[in-house]
Structure 1
Amino acid sequence: MTMQNGRHGFTIVEYIPHIVTHTLHSPMKLATLKDGTRDGQLIVVSRDLQTAAVADAIVATLQRALDDWTFYAPQLRDLYDAVNQGRARNTFAFDANDCMAPLPRAFQWADASSYVNHVELVRRARGAEMPPEFWTDPLMYQGGSDDFIGPRDDIVCASEEFGIDFEAEVAVMTGDVPMGVKPEHALRSVRLVTLVNDVSLRNLIPAELAKGFGFFQSKPATAFAPVAVTPDELGEHWREGRVHRPMIVHWNGKKVGQPDAGVDMVFHFGQLIAHAAKTRNLRAGTIVGSGTVSNKDAKRGYCCIAEKRCLEMIESGAPQTGFMKYGDTVKIDMFDEAGKSIFGSIEQAVAPLAQ
């Protein structure tokens, strides 16, 4: 390892990734403010999502914080405590409309399908058998991570005929993860948790998958909740590598889903991270998604329209529910036991591509 003088007395030129082997207790909530740049300005947000403080005296961006988490996290936690206790200077009212995605662009976005019930429904609706290995080996694709969108940004689409669908998911952001990591060790790399709307263009998917080379055009920009929180902030709701709270989804103002994200998640986040790291290192700032939250209990509703259509096909032989149209809205949120939003909501409208 070659080293030169730098902020800590040296700069690592050849870097070997590692994971923290002890628990770093840092309950806090972080967001990224729009400031006219690509990566925005990191802010610390109060537990009740009412006030915030700019973190530039500590670190300017979330990616930089993730790059050196053990150094920056304790300082950010102290600022978080000060904000919650009313001791922080220059606080301001937090407004999700002013937020970018917490990590506006990431080195990697890997999305899984860990709620196998969702996969089983899709395959059953089209009369396909469920391969037994789907219960033991996660499905995962690598999505576009260069242009994430914020919690209030429109879902822009060139045509309604593409089959516009929302997908409510949980996602984690990691520190550095070494190749070949074991699932139980991979969980230690989780730095932050947030919510995702991983939009799908359902009518483009079949032709793309038929080529045998995965998604690309079918997966437009992914939207994120305004706030990312540490696992410690979730307390007892974060256990066994899962978030144990209902995912609340409204479509055009009507509640359509409230499945529990901790139920029926076959592969926990440690397993998903280990799957992604089987043959490669994962760099700090990698985001891993859970896939569409889905419960076997259909009474809990749905987190994507495709699942509703699959149930209709199974029951009556044909789907009855259409996909999203221009002007449609979707709201995705998750609440604590006191009814307070944990991450802030994703609230988006579908809009046509400007000509």
Structure 2
Amino acid sequence: MLEEVKKMLDEEPLAKLRVEGEPVVIRLEEAQLLAPVPLPRSVRDFYAFEQHVKTSRKRRGLDMIPEWYQIPVFYFSNHRSVVGQDASVAKPSYSEKLDFELEIACVIGRKGKNISADHAIDYIAGFTIMNDWSARDVQRKEMAVGLGPAKGKDFATSLGPYLVTLDELEDRRDRDRWDLKMTARVNGKTISEGNAKDLYWSFAQMIERASQDAELVPGDVIGSGTVGTGCILELGPEVQRWLQPGDLVELEIERLGVLRNRIVKG
């Protein structure tokens, strides 16, 4: 079937393609983009950028965690709270400190278990932008208990606008990392800039860890964690106040597009 579609696209002008009389191709501005994986089988979010970890802990008066350098760590997010491009994100009723997080995520394309880092890239279907929305006041209380984040991350995760396959990024690849500029804007103002190549733990290492004695399946999402400067928690409210209804958050990653969401009252 896929080969037939490719042949049609090669041989026929897109405007002429029809299925039961209806056009197959519509203009992008006429479409509502869902998340590339609207209902992932799972969402694992790692903590892989050293600058973010160091700076965020320093702001809270905490030293760096020695164990962070020993293994890549992650938590499971709510896979049923995933939204896509231009979706409204409701400010949680239980939080006064709503934050964004600028992340890159990969989507798993092959089933695998105990995948070695040497072969892990072969299991990636593509990359997308991820916004790991965070209720910081709630998150801090939860994690002080030794568990979480739970309700601090439970309400929304944005993915999109596209899933970009690895062949489209080959010229930016350096072994198991990709040179892709990352930017965050709030109400049109640039407040965060980083690069995907600055990962301390690579996606290959994340996949190796995630698949240890556990099966990964197509559609699983693996987030990088926040890039350095990629959230209000790290920058400080003196640089950017906590998010409020009406705010427009745009996350841009070179070659992956711009992921855009507006905050609304919960």
TM over 0.5: yes
Structure 2: give runs of 5+ residues left out of the alignment: 18-23
Q: Tell me by how many angstroms 1:80 deviates.
A: 10
In structure 2, how many angstroms separate the alpha carbons of the residues matched to 1:157 and 1:164? 7
Pick from 258, 262, 265 the counterpart of residue 349 of structure 1: 262
Pick from 70, 80, 84 the counterpart of residue 150 of structure 1: 84
SS of equivalent to 2:257: coil
Counterpart residue number, 1:129: 63
Counterpart residue number, 1:233: 168
SS of equivalent to 2:151: coil
Amino acid at match of 2:165: T
Pick from 331, 335, 339 the counterpart of residue 250 of structure 2: 331
Pick from 221, 231, 251 the counterpart of residue 186 of structure 2: 251
Written as runs of structure 1 = structure 2, the 5 A alignment for 1:204-353 is 204-219=138-153, 220-262=155-197, 264-294=198-228, 302-309=229-236, 321-335=240-254, 342-353=255-266
Q: Tell me by how many angstroms 1:237 deviates.
A: 1.6
SS of equivalent to 1:98: coil
Please give the TM-score of this superposition, normalised by the length of structure 2. 0.88
Greater RCO, 1 or 2 (C-alpha within 8 Å, sep 6+): 2
SS of equivalent to 1:92: coil
- Give per-residue Cα distances to partners, 1:142-180, cap 9 Å, x unaligned: 111123111101111233843111111111111234332
Amino acid at match of 1:328: D
Q: Is the alpha carbon distance of 1:216 and 1:343 closer, same or farther for their aligned partners in structure 2, counting shifts above 3 Å?
A: same
SS of equivalent to 1:101: coil
Q: Is the alpha carbon distance of 1:327 and 1:119 closer, same or farther for their aligned partners in structure 2, counting shifts above 3 Å?
A: same
Q: Is the alpha carbon distance of 1:82 and 1:95 closer, same or farther for their aligned partners in structure 2, counting shifts above 3 Å?
A: farther
Kindly indicate whether the alpha-carbon contact (under 8 Å) linking 1:183 and 1:273 is maintained by their aligned counterparts in 2. Answer: yes
Kindly indicate whether the alpha-carbon contact (under 8 Å) linking 2:115 and 2:212 is maintained by their aligned counterparts in 1. Answer: yes
**Number of residues paired by the alignment?**
259
Q: Tell me by how many angstroms 1:258 deviates.
A: 2.3
Kindly indicate whether the alpha-carbon contact (under 8 Å) linking 2:250 and 2:261 is maintained by their aligned counterparts in 1. Answer: yes
Please give the TM-score of this superposition, normalised by the length of structure 1. 0.67
Choose between structure 1 and 2: higher strand proportion.
Answer: 2
In structure 2, how many angstroms separate the alpha carbons of the residues matched to 1:149 and 1:202? 20
Aligned-pair identity in percent equals 26
Structure 1: give runs of 5+ residues left out of the alignment: 1-57, 59-71, 295-301, 313-318, 336-341
Q: Is the alpha carbon distance of 1:131 and 1:229 closer, same or farther for their aligned partners in structure 2, counting shifts above 3 Å?
A: same
- Give per-residue Cα distances to partners, 1:186-224, cap 9 Å, x unaligned: 111001111111111111111111222221111121111
In structure 2, how many angstroms separate the alpha carbons of the residues matched to 1:238 and 1:96? 33
In structure 2, how many angstroms separate the alpha carbons of the residues matched to 1:217 and 1:160? 9
Kindly indicate whether the alpha-carbon contact (under 8 Å) linking 1:292 and 1:303 is maintained by their aligned counterparts in 2. Answer: yes
Counterpart residue number, 1:194: 128
- Give per-residue Cα distances to partners, 1:53-99, cap 9 Å, x unaligned: xxxxx4xxxxxxxxxxxxx6x677x3796499858723221138611
* Structure 1 stretches of at least 4 aligned residues deviating more than 6 Å after TM superposition: none
Kindly indicate whether the alpha-carbon contact (under 8 Å) linking 2:245 and 2:263 is maintained by their aligned counterparts in 1. Answer: yes
SS of equivalent to 1:258: strand
Counterpart residue number, 2:20: none
Counterpart residue number, 1:184: 118
SS of equivalent to 2:127: strand
Counterpart residue number, 1:299: none
Kindly indicate whether the alpha-carbon contact (under 8 Å) linking 1:150 and 1:226 is maintained by their aligned counterparts in 2. Answer: yes
The structure with the largest alpha-carbon Rg is 1
CA RMSD in angstroms comes to 2.5
Q: Is the alpha carbon distance of 1:322 and 1:167 closer, same or farther for their aligned partners in structure 2, counting shifts above 3 Å?
A: same
